[in-house]
Amino acid sequence: MLSHTKSNLVARLLSCCLLLTAVLGGPSLTSVLGSENPRVAPGANRPNLLIIHTDEHNFRTLGCYRATLPPEQALMWGKDAVVTTPNIDWLADHGALCTSFYATTPVCSPSRAAFVSGRYPQNTPVTNNNIALGDDVVTFAEILRRRGYATGYAGKWHLDGGGKPQWAPQRKFGFQDNRYMFNRGHWKQLEDTPDGPRVKARSPAGQPNYGVAGADEKSFTTDFLADKTVQFIAAHKDQPFCFMLSIPDPHGPDTVRPPYGTMFQNQTYQTPRTFDKSLGNLPSWGRPSGGFAGMASYYGMVKCIDDNVGKIIGALRSHGLIQNTVVVFTADHGDLRGEHHRQNKGVPYEGSAKIPLVVYYPKRIKAGTLIHETLGCVDFLPTILGLMGVETAGQEEGRDGSALLVTGKPPAGWKDVTFIRSTGRPDGAGWLAAVTDRWKLIYSPVDDPWLFDLEKDPDELTNFFRDPACRETVRELSREILAYAKKHRDGYARNAKVKADLQWAVGGTGDYVSTVPVRRPVESAPAGKRGQGKRNRTAQPGGSDGR
Ligand SMILES: [Ca+2]
């Protein structure tokens, strides 16, 4: 930080520059300071920020992510069974795609809290669903609002406790126009009324429900919320704005309006390779849970999302804003869709914890930039504000990765590691992990540690923790976990078993000796035929699915 004297000096120098500029008609303040100065907002041309956020989105359903993967990883549900996403792909092709972006906790509320605050779940303090975001949290929207941005939000929020749907929560966290924000629910149809928006589908008793019958291109939730986004853009096209669209799809229920509901029915789907994995020696977080419900409706929801992304890009283009808007596409967490014989999320496997992050901003990000360094939701706030040249409020615990986006390379001293954690309490079941572009090291109060090598074993079936060739990797990542846990007060590292395992990892000699007190029996695969499992069975441990 600059000292007072230095600040005054800088301020005086700036005044002189401005005066000279005004008198001589010389270069602008931006060019005097250099447009690459990441902390200087470019005057009247401040960029807009538009975030399109989905819920429970498996990254393999996006063409731009499939393009980064070998075929056996890209085509998880059959070699011809894909959904195309040309509009989201366009953002990635003309911007940056992060291949290793992780949900800090792969469950709704904690992931969302980390994303808007830049803080770890234990410090927001949203460690599980339906916990309210702390009043002291300053979001990126609040930071931009204080800078004069018009701010708004439409869609699912899930950070104001248990209310459902609870339209327009009183605590706005900087999202000033939150008329179309609702706290909870996976409603399929919305409508405007003189008293404000409401859920259109109703039970005979008048209660809002998840019915999809009758939904059309106006009322279906994805379309409805995208239209509100387009309206917000039109209303604020002449001033800098920050808007977040939070689409509650492709989360269950797996239903979508016509024609998307039938569009993908004729493809042949197969269960993922890992559906039939060996059940021996699995950690508690890796056991089968739920079945596989096919992909036709899920793909339909994704296709509807992509078409609406196209509608929003079209609106930005028609208002002449596409060059000056940072457009982000991301999700709160994944959905295993049968991978590892599981549905939904809550576990450290790629399909659950790895999420899309696409950032388009042609003024600073080169088309086709690929970022392989690992980032987490906690890094979003400092990174996006860094990209926009805006100071943070200093509350964030994540890192400013904007240099990665702008140069494609990490800044000096950057360590490729992020930390992710399960919901729940460190004295119960759960897990804490360090993740790099190649490795994933997972500690748990009830299981021996696991180490995945995503290069040798992208299906995440083998535990390399005891492999002597991986000893140094285990040591190094465990040191990183300890440093993280101390700095950000993560209780998992204080759990007796996790603590003992970390101690061996960092300083132990000889072979690792299991400290699991009682080995739970491995469950057999759930009864019933493949492909007929229940869609929304909750992943364990991982909290509720947020419905
Ligand atoms: Ca979610």
Separation of 499 CA from ligand 1 center, angstroms? Answer: 30
Q: Kindly give, in sequence order, each residue whose CB lies less than 8 Å from that of residue 192, ignoring residues fewer than 6 positions away.
A: none
**From ligand 1's centre to the CA of 332, what distance in Å?**
5
Query: For residue 43, how far is its CA from the centre of ligand 1 (angstroms)?
Result: 37
- Structural domain containing residue 497: 425-507
Distance 279 CA to ligand 1 centre (A): 27
What CATH number has the domain bearing residue 123?
3.40.720.10
Burial of 41 (0-12, 13-18, 19+ CB in 10 A): middle
Cα 58 to ligand 1 centre (Å): 11
Q: Number of structural domains, the chain?
A: 2
Q: For residue 497, how far is its CA from the centre of ligand 1 (angstroms)?
A: 30
- Domain final position from 392, 418, 444: 418
Query: What separation in angstroms does the CA of 103 have from each of 233, 401, 421, 459, 536?
Result: 28, 16, 9, 19, 20
533 belongs to a structural domain: no
Ligand 1 mean position, distance from CA 107 (Å): 6
Asked if residue 466 lies in contact with residue 453, where contact means CB atoms within 8 angstroms, the answer is no
Mark whether 119 and 206 lie in a shared domain.
yes
Amino acid at 499: K
Ligand 1 centroid to residue 506 C-alpha, Å: 35
Per-residue pLDDT 10s for the chain (547 aa) are: 333 333 333 333 444 333 333 333 333 333 333 333 333 344 458 999 999 999 999 999 999 999 999 999 999 999 999 999 999 999 999 999 999 999 999 999 999 999 999 999 999 999 999 999 999 999 999 999 999 999 999 999 999 999 999 999 999 999 999 999 999 999 999 999 999 999 999 999 999 999 999 999 999 999 999 999 999 999 999 999 999 999 999 999 999 999 999 999 999 999 999 999 988 889 999 999 988 889 999 999 999 999 999 999 999 999 999 999 999 999 999 999 999 999 999 999 999 999 999 999 999 999 999 999 999 999 999 999 999 999 999 999 999 999 999 999 999 999 999 999 999 778 888 999 999 999 999 999 999 999 999 999 999 999 999 999 999 999 999 999 999 999 999 999 999 999 999 999 999 999 999 977 544 544 444 433 333 333 333 333 333 444 4
* Cα(307)–Cα(188) distance, integer angstroms: 17
**pLDDT at residue 523, as a whole number:** 45
Nearest Cα residue to 358 out of 66, 94, 7: 94
Q: Tell me which of 418, 444, 468 is where a domain ends.
A: 418
Same domain membership, residue 494 and residue 359: no
Whether 64 maps to a domain, the answer reads yes
Same domain assignment for residues 386 and 445: no
Of 393, 418, 443, the domain-final residue: 418
**357 Cα–ligand 1 center, Å:** 15
φ, ψ for residue 297, nearest 5 deg: -70, -35
Q: Which two tokens stand for residue 170?
A: 């009183």
Q: Give me the amino acid identity at 72.
A: E
Report the separation in Å between the CA atom of 189 and the middle of ligand 1, taken as the mean of its atom positions: 18
Cα(247) to centroid(ligand 1), Å: 10
Q: Which two tokens stand for residue 82?
A: 């894909």
Ligand 1 centre and the CA of 329: distance in Å?
Answer: 15
Regarding whether 404 and 496 lie in a shared domain, the answer is: no
Cα 333 to middle of ligand 1, angstroms: 6
Q: Both 331 and 444 in a single domain?
A: no
User: What separation in Å is there between the alpha carbon of 252 and the centre of ligand 1?
Assistant: 10
- How much distance in Å is there from the Cα of 121 to the middle of ligand 1? 15
- Three-state secondary structure of 431-461: CEEEECCCEEEEEECCEEEEEEECCCCCCCC
- Ligand 1 centroid to residue 187 C-alpha, Å: 13
**378 and 494 in one domain?**
no
Is 296 found in the same domain as 434?
no
Q: Name the strand (E) or helix (H) holding 503.
A: helix 496-507
- For residues 139 and 286, state if they share a domain: yes
Residue 8 lies in a domain: no
pLDDT score at 545: 40
Examine the domain organization and report whether 414 and 431 are in the same domain: no
